[in-house]
Amino acid sequence: MPTPTPAPRKAAIAKADKEVLFKGVTCALIGLVILLAPYVARSTSVRELMGQAALVGWFALALGVAFVVQFALRRAKAGRGQP
C-alpha cells in the first residue's frame, strides 16, 4: 500500500493565509459591533454596559486590522516571488 503524499506546501500556505484573513475580518467585525452597540441599543443598561466595553472594542478592532495587514503583506510577498 503506497504511503499518501503530503499536501503541497503552497496549499498549506494558502490555507494559513485564508485563516489569517478570516480571523482579521472576524475580530474587526466584533470590535465594530462592540463600539457601535451603545448608539444602537434601546435600553439604558445595555448602553452603559457596552459603553464600558469600549476598550475591548478598540482592542478587537486593532487586532483585526493587524491580521488583515499581515494577510496583505503575505500576499504581496508571495506575489513578488512569482515570475
Per-residue pLDDT of 39-66, as tens digits, reads: 988 888 888 888 899 999 999 999 999 9
C-alpha cell read off for 55: 476598550
Residues 61-83 pLDDT 10s: 999 999 999 999 998 988 776 65
Please give the average per-residue pLDDT across 14-41, as a whole number.
92
Q: How many C-beta atoms surround the C-beta of residue 4 within 10 A?
A: 6
Task: Report pLDDT digits (tens) over 26-35.
Answer: 999 999 999 9
Give the span between the Cα atoms of 50 and 57, in whole angstroms.
9
